[in-house]
Amino acid sequence: MEIGFWSGWNLVKLYFMIGLPTETEDDLLGIVDLVRKVADCGKRYRGRNRVNVTISPFTPKPHTPFQWEAQESVENIEEKNRFLNRRLRVRNLEVKFRDARISFLEGVLSRGDRRLGRVIESAFRNGARLDSWSEHFNYEFWKRAFEQVGIDPNVYTSSRCPEEPLPWQHIDKGVPPDFLKEEREKSHRGVPLRIGHRKVSASDSDSGLAEPQAPASSFYGRSRKKKVPVHSQSVPRSLLRVKWSKGEEAKYTAHLENMRVFERAIRRADIPVAYSHGFHPHQRVAYGPPLALGFSSEAEYLDIQLTAPYEPKIFERLNQALPPGFSVEEFHLLWSGAESLSKIINAASYQVKTSFPLEVALKKTESILNSESLQVKRTRKEKVEEIEGRPHIFTLEALKVESGTLLTMTLALGEGGYLRVQEILSDGLKMSSEEVLLSEVCRTGLFVRRGQRFFTPFEVS
C-alpha cells in the first residue's frame, strides 16, 4: 500500500467476508485494524487518497467444505455490520455493507430443493423483478412467498449432518464428498495451510519468522513474462465453416447469447475444438456479422478451428446439442489460415413481411431505385445525423403474398459502409414506427461482394 500511494495511486479497494463458521470477535477486530492501517497509510501522502471497503456476508454453497454449515442469521450479520461501522469511521474511508437479506436469500436458493420452485414463482407473482440490483430488491415479496407456499426458509440455512442426503448430491463435480468432509474438519481444527514446503499458520507473524520476500521486480512494475512454448493446435484442413439458421423461437436472443449457445453446444457435442492460449482460454470460434435482435435468419456463419481431422458425426452431434430455434444447415472444410468471416462478408439479403400496402411499397421502391440519393437519419451516441444511404442498396423489390406485402432487399454490410433494414423501412418507404416494429424480418443470406458479383462465404476461402 505504501508503494501504491507513493507511486500516485489514490484509490484502494478492499473486500472482506464476515460470518464464516469459525469466525470470532478477534477476526472482526482484525478487519478493523487492517483497514485503519491502510487508511492511515493513505493520509501520509499528498492528494485525496481514498480507501473503499466492501464487507459481504459469507454464504455456504453446495460442493464446498462448508456445505453442511449453518449460515449466519440476518440479525447476527446486521449486528456485526454495526460493530464494524462504529469502528471504521475515518475521514478518507468509505465502507459499504452488502444487504444481509440478499445473502440470506442467496443461501436459501443455493442450498434448497425443488420445492423452492413454487416459492420463486410466487415471489415473481408478488412483484419480484431484477433482484440482483439492490434498488429493485424487495425482501417482502420473498417473505410473503415463503408464507404463501408454507415453507420456512431457515430450514435451508441451518446446519446439516454430514451423513444426511443433500438436494445436490446427485450432481458430480469431480470432488469426492470425503475430501470435502476432511477439509471441513481441518478448518474447525485450525490446521495450518501448506505453502511451498513449510506450514504457515496465523501465529507465524508473532513467531519472529521472516516473511518470504517477493522479487524486487514485482514491486516496481510487471515481472518478466515466462516464455511458454506454443504448440500449434491446428491440423491441415481443420477449419470448419458452418452455416446455421435461427428460427422464430430464438429471434430474441442477442449476439452474445448466440455465442454462448454455440460454446455450450460445442462442449456438449464433444467437438475437438482448439482453445486460445493464456490465463482464460477461449474456444477458437469466429462468428459472422451480428444479427439484429428480433430478426430470424436462414444464413448465419461461424468458423470452428479443430484440433483433429473432421468426422461426419460432428455435424449430427452439434445439431443434437443445440436448443430449439438453432440449427446447423451446412458446412465446408477450409484450409487453416482462410480469411475470416468478419473480413470478407460485406453484403446481406433480407425478407420483410409487412402489412404495408403493396401499391405504396411498389411506388416507394421504384422511387428509391431510380433516385441517386437517399438521406437516412441515424442515431449515434444520442446524436442524430444524416447519412447517404443509396450507395448501400444493391437490390430492392416489393412482392404480393397472402399475408400482405413481402419486401426483399440486399444491403451493404461491414466497415465499408452499411444500411439497416429499419432505415429502409422508415426513411425509404416512410413506414410509421409501429409498422416497422410489427414487420417480420429474416436475413436470407450473407455475401462476399466483389465488383458486381456476389459469392457465399463457402465460395470464398
User: Residue 210's pLDDT is what?
Assistant: 43
User: Residue 236's pLDDT is what?
Assistant: 55
pLDDT of 214 higher than 90: no
CATH number of the 345-455 domain: 3.30.70
Q: Which of the four pLDDT bands, split at 50, 70 and 90, describes residue 336?
A: low
User: For residue range 19-29, what is the model confidence (pLDDT) as tens digits?
Assistant: 999 899 999 99
- Within the chain, all domains assigned CATH 3.30.70.580 are found at 239-341
> For residues 59 and 55, what is the distance between their CA atoms, to the nearest angstrom?
13
Residue 75 or 6, more confident:
75
> For residues 423 and 377, what is the distance between their CA atoms, to the nearest angstrom?
8
Q: Which of the four pLDDT bands, split at 50, 70 and 90, describes residue 189?
A: confident
3 state DSSP class of 8: coil
Q: Which of 219-228, 399-408, 420-429 has the lowest mean pLDDT?
A: 219-228
User: For residue range 401-415, what is the model confidence (pLDDT) as tens digits?
Assistant: 988 899 999 999 988
CA nearest to 261, candidates 323, 319, 311: 323
Q: Which of the four pLDDT bands, split at 50, 70 and 90, describes residue 224?
A: low
Q: Which of the four pLDDT bands, split at 50, 70 and 90, describes residue 237?
A: low
Question: Is CATH 3.30.1510.10 the classification given to domain 239-341?
Answer: no
* Cα–chain center distance at 396: 38
User: Residue 255's pLDDT is what?
Assistant: 96
Contact of 425 with 411, CB cutoff 8 Å: no
pLDDT of 300 higher than 90: yes
3-state secondary structure 229-266: CCCCCCCCCCEEEEEEEECHHHCCCCHHHHHHHHHHHH
pTM for the model: 0.57
